[in-house]
Each structure stands twice: as C-alpha cells, then as structure tokens.
Amino acid sequence: MLNLVLFGPPGAGKGTQSEHLINKYNLTHISTGDLFRKNIGEKTDLGKLAQKYMDEGNLVPDQVVIDMVDDKINSTPNTNGFIFDGFPRTIAQASALDSLMAKNDTIIHTMLALKVSEEELMKRLLNRGKTSGRVDDQDEAKIKIRINVYNNETTPVANYYSDQGKLNTIEGIGSIEEIFNNLSSIVDSLA
C-alpha cells in the first residue's frame, strides 16, 4: 500500500493535486471536507453537526472526524492506498491516523506539504468562492479565520511528521503540472 498525507492551508491546491495523484498512483481519496459536504448535502446527522463548525471556519471536533475517517477506511478494502486530503488537521488526528494505519497493518509513507503565501491563498479562495458555492470561501473574514485556525492548530501537524522523518515541503505556486511533477518525484523516490 501507499498512503500519503497531502497537507497545506486552505486554497493550497490539495484538491487539484489529489485528483492527479489518485489517477497516477491508483489511490483512494479521503477528503474530510468533501465527506462533510456530502453529509451536509444529504442532511445526515453528521452533516448537521459539522455544518455549524464549517460555516464559522472552525474545526469539527477531533473524534467526529476520526470516526468518519475510520468508517471510510473500513468501507474501502483492497485499495492500493489512501491519499488523505485535509486530514489530519490536529496532533490528536495525526496520532489517531497512525493508530488507524497500524490497525490495518500499514503506515503513512509520507507527508507532502504545499507551501503558499497568505496573500495568494486569500486571492485563490475568494476566486473559488465565486463558482464553488462554498459559503466558507465567499467572505474574507471567514477565510481569515480558516487561515488562523490553520496557523494555530494545524501547522504543528507538519512537525509531527517531520519528527518521523516524513515531511516533504513543496512550493505550491506554479503551474499545476510543474507542482504535480515535483510531488510525483517525491512519491517515486519512496519506491
């Protein structure tokens, strides 16, 4: 199996690059943001619970996210591997992910961290908000909250992987293809 964590602030290009990585390496995509949006669309209890946090730009409580990821892993047997996108976002989630991987006799092989400046993120997200229909992309104040949450609660997750010798930082500004090639070379070097 090949299990990757694609890391970076909101608007770094994780969704776009995930699509390319999934195709190239035949992986299963686990985007916690997408899973919550699906639940909101289907008006499930999980969706109702998550929505209030998401609308404010805050993180959904750890255990809720961890249980959802656990379910998704369990419902995907016989995969080549997983690409985790938007997860883990806290140290508690990172440590839970290690346990989930161990339970499945596997590990996280690497973290690919996309680096993009805050001005660029704000531009990209406001732009995405014009077409994505995502309320959390349409308001500058909400985007600022999400970037602050990322800086305060999520950046320590990079240190968690760095301590395990698994952190790879990639410049997230450039053409989609150029960034994808840089990500692929790191993944290929794992083989």
- Residues 72, 124, 146, 166: which binds ligand AMP (CB under 6 A)? 146
How far apart (Å, rounded) are the C-alpha atoms in residues 14 and 60? 19
- Which range touches ligand AMP (CB under 6 A), out of 28-36, 72-80, 162-170, 171-179? 28-36
Classified as helix, coil or strand, 170 is: strand
Looking at 21-29, 83-91, 107-115, 125-133, which segment touches ligand AMP (CB under 6 A)? 83-91
Distance CA 75, CA 60 (A): 22
CA dihedral 113, 99, 67, 29 (to 10 degrees): 40
Nearer to ligand AMP, 59 or 183 (CB): 59
* Euclidean distance between CA atoms 165 and 108, whole angstroms: 11
Active site residue 146: yes
Whether 124 is catalytic is no
Euclidean distance between CA atoms 23 and 122, whole angstroms: 28
Q: Does 32 bind ligand AMP (CB under 6 A)?
A: yes
How many residues are present in the chain? 191
Q: How many residues bind ligand AMP (CB under 6 A)?
A: 17
Spell out where the chain has E strands: 4-7, 28-31, 82-85, 110-115, 167-171
Convert 78-94 to b/e letters by CB count within 10 Å (16 or more is b).
eeebbbbbbbbbbeebb
Smallest gap from Cβ 33 to ligand AMP, in A, equals 2
Residue closer to ligand AMP (CB basis): 52 or 181? 52
* C-beta of 53 vs 105, nearer to ligand AMP: 53
Report if residue 129 touches ligand AMP, rule: CB under 6 A: no
Catalytic (active site) residue 134: yes
Question: Is position 36 an interface residue for ligand AMP (rule: CB under 6 A)?
Answer: yes
Q: Is 128 designated active site?
A: yes
Active site residues: 14, 89, 128, 134, 146
**Which spans of this chain sit near ligand AMP (rule: CB under 6 A)?**
10, 32-33, 36, 53-54, 57-60, 65, 86-87, 89, 93, 136, 146
